[in-house]
Amino acid sequence: MKIFDHTNWPNNREELTSYGEKELNILAEFYGKEQTIQVNNICIVYSIPFSSVDCERGFSKQNLIKTDLRNSLNIETLHFLMMVGLEEKDLFEFDFTRAIQIWNNECKRRI
């Protein structure tokens, strides 16, 4: 999988055009013997992470959200809280007024 890490790519444009061809053919042969379309042979690569950083970040965020005091969170709520927590947006740019309008319009609420 090192051929997909851009830090290993050669600087020379001519070398880059053929870089990783051998490795790519090995992957295509291993994962795609029963497949005939070349693009489908490579799709398996999209599911293989280059590192476990994202996974570790997710578990860390989950442990911060689902504490002993919040142990009865359902899966859907935990999922949404994790998505908000993992989305690294600047809170100063977030339009809270619009979010409240959307939330309030979803159903009749008493505030």
State pLDDT tens for residues 4-18. Answer: 777 888 888 888 888
In a 13 Å sphere around the CA of 97, the CA atoms on its Cβ side amount to: 1
**Number of structural domains, the chain?**
2
Which of 47, 68, 84 marks a domain boundary?
47
Q: What Å distances lie between residue 54 and 58, 66, 86, 103, CA to CA?
A: 6, 18, 10, 29
Asked if 63 and 101 sit in the same domain, the reply is yes
Domain range for 24: 2-47
Decide which of 38 and 19 is more confident.
19
Q: How confident is the model at residue 97 (pLDDT cuts 50, 70, 90)?
A: very high
> Could you read off the pLDDT of 31-78 as tens digits, one per residue?
665 544 445 545 655 666 667 788 888 899 999 999 888 888 899 999
> Does residue 72 lie within any of the structural domains?
yes
In a domain, 18, yes or no: yes
How far is residue 8's CA from residue 2's CA, in Å, rounded to a whole number? 7
| Residue 111 lies inside a defined structural domain of this protein | no
C-alpha dihedral sign at 76, 95, 63, 49: positive
Tell whether 41 and 66 lie within a shared domain. Answer: no
Please check whether residue 69 lies inside any domain of the structure. Answer: yes
Helix axes 75-86, 53-65, angle to 10 degrees: 120
